[in-house]
Structure 1
Amino acid sequence: MTSASHSAGSSAVVDDKKNPAEKKDAVPPMNSIDKFLGAPAPDKKDDAKDEEKKAKKLSPTPAYVFCGLFAFLYVVGRILEQILIKREFTRAIGLAVVLGLS
């Protein structure tokens, strides 16, 4: 029994490998619930439409450029903030020492 079921299963696998184009173009059967609800059958894929969509697809390069610019500005801002605040505090402390406020 097991050898018969095993051989039947292996022949189905071999049939799928023979014609991958047919399997790709085949429309899968609809679910019984979809049929009951009156859903339309799925359309057959059109390779020309897929190629047109790929051709119209925008490139992510401009987004990466802007991301890089903003990251650079963020890092430069963080460094400048530390330098400028240190300079400001040094001036304030220096003026306080010179004027004798402490």
Structure 2
Amino acid sequence: MSIGPLEIAIIVLLFVLLFGAKKLPDAARSIGRSARIFKSEIKEMSNDDERHEAQQRQIHAPAPVQQPNIAQPGVAQPQAQQLPQQQQPNQR
């Protein structure tokens, strides 16, 4: 059972009678806008899913292990700077 040209013509005629010829372009425009909004929302939902999965991978990723600072021979190691001490007056 398929829809033939006669059935399509009857459906179009019913739409014209129900909605009027003036309202059909507005209805088609409204359906087009709705379809664009729906498409963009679906795309945004897939982007949200990808972001959520990336965040979950970051949360469950093992923390990097910090290596101890071991002095190596022949390599200059940075030294902590010593702040000058305030001189106190001699008490006599």
Which bracket does the TM-score occupy, shorter chain normalised? 0.3 to 0.5
* Structure with higher RCO (Cα < 8 A, 6+ apart): 1
> Whose radius of gyration is greater, 1 or 2?
2
What's the TM-score once normalised by structure 2's chain length? 0.42
